[in-house]
């Protein structure tokens, strides 16, 4: 039986290098229960929307920590701010 391709658009294979594996591992923590192949689409959409992934937020915070006058750390409004 001949398999019919559902699209004529280009397809891309992605090999899980160490870097890709780390990215997909992080994505699987954010979007739990999503198959790894679909995580790639989530990661790409997140990047297109400004990269609000946990690692980009953490990296941004690390750059800023201690750079504000009189400040030794930054607060995360979600977890650190009093209710």
pLDDT tens-digit readout, 2-58: 677 678 888 888 888 988 898 889 889 888 999 998 999 888 888 887 766 556 666
Instruction: Answer yes or no: are the C-beta atoms of 43 and 31 closer than 8 Å.
Output: no
Cα torsion 63, 78, 30, 17 to 10°: value is 10
pLDDT of residue 34: 92
> Bigger pLDDT: 47 or 74?
47
The predicted model scores a pTM of 0.52
DSSP 3-state of 25: helix
């Amino acid at each position: 039986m001949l398999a019919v391709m559902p699209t004529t658009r280009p397809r891309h294979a992605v090999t899980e290098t160490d870097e890709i594996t780390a990215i997909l591992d992080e994505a699987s923590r954010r979007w739990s229960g999503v198959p790894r192949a679909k995580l790639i689409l989530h990661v790409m959409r997140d990047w297109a929307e400004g990269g609000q992934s946990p690692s980009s937020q953490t990296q941004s915070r690390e750059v800023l920590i201690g750079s504000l006058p009189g400040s030794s750390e930054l607060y995360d409004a979600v977890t650190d701010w009093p209710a």
